[in-house]
């Protein structure tokens, strides 16, 4: 039994580029890309896209440079970078397969090309690491765990079963899903920092961007309870980036030497 479980684990185990972390992937890359394509098409029909030629050119230029260094880690990606006209939304996202969306509301915070490279490299890193497939896989395991718990308690009263399942749901959210989401965000920060350096963008810009974003978050009443958040606190992100900066600067100097 133990051998069978080990074989199953190894069959669905992947390794994250750059960080080398092991991950469980129960969804194939083809399935993941199909989901990403379908959802991105829906968003392009639902949300207006920016008609600003200069801003679109900027997004495409930065996106292509970042994608060029990420291609080796995700060779089957279908990179697409779309600027959505949402001035009130300071955000960006990435769907499986390399579909990256940037909202115009984040541009005043990115401020310059290096700041935009920080955001795009972070989102590209999410695609490369297949965080979407990993989250789906975790969700499947949590769902199966809940069913197993319910089956194991079938002789208990309905009230006892309901309490146990509610506790399981809260425990899996706070203990598994949210920490993993924060872990994914920090991992994307890490890999994104390396990618932007390899693409010829000064990685110090990443720290400056997150300082600006932190100030923006505080103005909007940002989160103070990290353990109940899907994203790490801004100071956590900045501290990690500062610790990774020497390595990123090495990559940046190598890139400048080759240019």
Task: Give me the active site residues, please.
Answer: 123
Q: Is 208 exposed, middle or buried (0-12, 13-18, 19+ CB in 10 A)?
A: middle
Nearest-CA neighbor of 127 among 53, 240, 201, 33? Answer: 33
Cβ neighbours for 192, distance < 8 A, ≥ 6 positions apart = 118, 121, 122, 123, 124, 125, 206
By three-state DSSP, how is residue 33 classified? helix
DSSP state string for 89-136: ---EEEETTTEEEEEGGGHHHH-SHHHHHHHHHHHHHHHHTTHHHHHH
Residue whose C-alpha is closest to residue 180's, from 139, 215, 151: 139
Are the C-beta atoms of 89 and 48 separated by less than 8 Å?
A: no
* CA gap 169, 180 in Å, rounded: 15
Q: Let me know: does 221 contact 256? Beta carbons within 8 Å.
A: no
Report the length, in residues, of the chain: 259
Short-list 196, 204, 201, 195, CA closest to 241: 204
């Amino acid at each position: 039994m133990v051998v069978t479980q080990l074989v199953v684990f190894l069959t669905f185990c992947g390794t994250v580029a750059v960080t080398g972390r092991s991950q469980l992937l129960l969804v194939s890359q083809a399935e993941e890309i199909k989901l990403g394509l379908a959802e991105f098409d829906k968003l392009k029909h639902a949300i207006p896209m920016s008609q600003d030629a200069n801003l679109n050119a900027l997004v495409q230029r930065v996106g292509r440079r970042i994608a060029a260094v990420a291609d080796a880690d995700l060779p089957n990606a279908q990179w697409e970078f779309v600027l959505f006209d949402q001035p009130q939304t300071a955000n960006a996202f990435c769907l499986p397969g390399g579909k990256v969306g940037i909202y115009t509301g984040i541009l005043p915070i990115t401020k310059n090309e290096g700041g935009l490279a920080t955001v795009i490299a972070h989102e590209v890193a999410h695609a490369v690491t297949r965080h979407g497939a990993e989250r789906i896989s975790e969700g499947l395991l949590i769902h199966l765990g809940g069913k197993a718990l319910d089956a194991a308690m079938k002789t208990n009263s309905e009230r006892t079963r309901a309490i146990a399942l509610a506790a399981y749901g809260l425990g899996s959210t706070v203990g598994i899903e949210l920490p993993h989401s924060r872990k994914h965000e920090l991992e994307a920060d890490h890999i994104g920092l390396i990618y932007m350096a390899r693409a010829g963008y000064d990685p110090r810009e990443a720290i400056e961007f997150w300082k600006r974003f932190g100030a923006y978050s505080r103005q909007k009443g940002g989160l103070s309870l990290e353990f109940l958040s899907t994203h790490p606190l801004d100071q956590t992100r900045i501290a990690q980036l500062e610790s990774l900066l020497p390595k990123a600067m090495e990559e940046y100097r190598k890139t400048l030497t080759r240019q």
